[in-house]
Each structure stands twice: as structure tokens, then as C-alpha cells.
Amino acid sequence: MSVVSQPAYRVLHVFGQLRRGGPAQALAGIVKHSDATKFRHMAISLLPADARACGQIEIEGAEVLASPTPVQLRRAVVQADILQVHFWNNPAIHAFMASDLPPVRTLVWCHINGLHVPQIISRSVIGFADKIAVTSRATLQLPAFRALHSDQCDVISASTDFSRLRGLTFAPHDEFNVGYIGRVHFAKLHPEFVRMCADVSLPSARFIVCGDGGAHCQASGPTWDRLDNPRDAARCRRGACRPRNDAHPRRLFDALAFKCIARER
């Protein structure tokens, strides 16, 4: 007796805007480790998408469509077995959720904790989903979530694919190294990041910052004893700032070996 194989479930992932970062990395990992015989993934970016983020997801086997027409978007939802909305407070996502959508099993995965405006999770967002997932247990303490049954909500961390780090080996060194991998932008970095690094008292401390984002420093450029505003780092790089006359030579960038590496992640 022959066994009839079941077609793979079609999972449609909808983003307000697909960019490099946690949600895109998480989706790439999901696609990579999914059983391709059981699940087929497609990602839609409602707004123009970052080409590198699209490439990371496509190379793992998912189809990506950016800036779809209304007809393309509706067709994708109609053909989906599961609609997964990757939510953060984005006008395009809200417009999509408020549109006339056909019935579909819907999961909303919140990539924000919802504790502070403007990144909040409203009752209408919760009501849109058949199932809702959050990335922080703190979100479960919000009044709107306390009213949910336990089977309506889960905590699922937006993890990354650590297989990319295979083959790395420890490199002996004498410095006390502190590494940062991520977006080098003060939308992500602590506003006092530069000052906190400068205040570390370890003589051998070395800060290695890897990523892109527009807030790069250059170890080869002039040095400053103080930055009244960390955002001045970018201005200094363009030559808009000048060293303080009483600055200790090479205090920030060399004594602490503060090194920013501007490269693609």
C-alpha cells in the first residue's frame, strides 16, 4: 500500500520592513532548520527591503517579496496555511492588519516587549492573532496579556543561528578584550557607550566594535579626551570636531585601544 505524502505547509512571514537585524536573522535560522518536506516559507516586506537581509533568507531556501502590490499581497495570504506577522510598531504593519484579509491561521510574533511607548502591544494586535508569541516574559505582565489563556500565548526568543560561528578558535592575547557585534548606531547603543568605555580603568582594556550603522569611530584619526555627546563621534570622524587643547594624547582611542571596525556582518 503506497503512502501519500502530505504537501508542505505554506508559512507566510510578513514584515513591515525587512532589514538586517534580529528578526531577519531569526527568520533565516527558522528557514534553515525547518524540515523542508513539512514547511515552505515565504517572506514579504511591506516596504522596500534591505538586499542583504533578503539574500540571507533566500539562501536558506525561502522566497522573498518586497513592496508587493495589493494583488500580490492578497494572493500570498490566500495561498498561506499559516500567516506569521513579525510585529513591532510600524505603520505598514498596522495598515496590513487593518486591511480586508481573507481567513487564515494567524500567529503574531512580537519583537518588542510592549512596556514603553511608542513600542506598545495593543489589545487590537492581540485580538488579530489566533496565537501570539512574545520574546520577553516581562510582556506577560501587561494587563492585556494577563487576560489570555495560557494556550493563546508563548514566549519564543528571537534567537540567531550560531552555526555561523563554527570553526572559530581562541586567539591568545594579552589585552582584556570586550567585543560588540551588532548595529553601530545610537538607536541601539547606550547613549553613554563611548564614555563608559573611556571610563574603564583597566590599562589593557580593548574594545572591538564590529558592525555597520553610521556611528563608526576610526582608531587612525585624531583623539579626544572627552566627548560631551557620544554622537559627536560621527562628527569628529568627518573632521567637524577638534581635540581639546588640554587633552591627554591618545587617551580615548589608544590608551584604551578603542577600535571600531566598520564592516559587513
For a pLDDT cut of 70, what percent of the chain falls above it? 78
Confidence of residue 2 (pLDDT cuts 50, 70, 90): low
CA distance 145 to 45: 27
Q: What is the pLDDT of residues 4-43, one digit of tens each?
A: 567 899 999 999 999 887 788 889 988 998 898 999 999 9
Following CA atoms 7, 58, 69, 46 in sequence, which dihedral angle do they give, to the nearest 10 degrees? Answer: 110
* Nearest alpha-carbon partner for 44 in 59, 19, 21, 63: 63
- For residue 123, the surrounding DSSP H or E stretch is helix 123-128
Question: Grid coordinates standing for 123?
Answer: 489589545
Check pLDDT > 80 for residue 225.
no
* Nearest alpha-carbon partner for 25 in 74, 72, 63, 60: 60
Q: What is the pLDDT of residues 145-175, one digit of tens each?
A: 998 988 899 999 877 777 777 888 888 888 8
Q: What is the pLDDT of residues 70-115, one digit of tens each?
A: 999 999 999 999 999 999 999 999 999 999 999 999 999 999 999 9
**Ranges of each domain in the chain:** 9-162, 170-262
Q: What is the pTM of this model?
A: 0.73
DSSP state letter for 4: P
Query: What are the residues facing 106 on neighbouring strands?
Result: 83
Per CATH, domain 9-162 is 3.40.50.11380: yes
State the residue for C-alpha cell 510585529: 87
